[in-house]
Structure 1
């Protein structure tokens, strides 16, 4: 993804700009997923230790929900960044 943005910035800047919102969404989803994965690992250890089990199980369920419902959208965001510029740039700026 970064390679596409870096490689196209000079050659096709409008294509890169067209994918900027999905790029930020992708980055945000991935960073949030990473943080939830970190909390899941801690929660799993806490459950094994018998510490605040109900709360820790809720954290594990939240991380699983995020992985199954949000992170599954990442491939489509990638596709809209790499392949979706043509539909965004089809109109002239004055047509907006």
Structure 2
């Protein structure tokens, strides 16, 4: 369950940061609080580069990692 929660949390947070990035880009173009909007954009890009880049590996561990668990007898749990 932990990989599912990590995947869901990372993707949902990325989605929310992407939404904030789009608003920040519009606000920046309109000249609203440039420093704050640039910080929002930078934060979203950092998250995409450093956190969302892990998502494919977590997905693969969920989809391909079941054999190690299902190989154990039910009594082992």
TM above 0.5, one fold? Answer: yes
2:33 counterpart of 1:55: no
Q: Which runs of 5+ in 2 are unaligned?
A: none
Q: Which runs of 5+ in 1 are unaligned?
A: 1-19
- State which of 48, 51, 73 in structure 2 corresponds to 1:70: 51
Q: How many residues align?
A: 74
How far 1:87 sits from its partner (Å)? 2.6
The Cα RMSD (Å) is: 1.3
2:9 counterpart of 1:28: yes
- Measured in 1, the distance between the counterparts of 2:68 and 2:45 equals 34
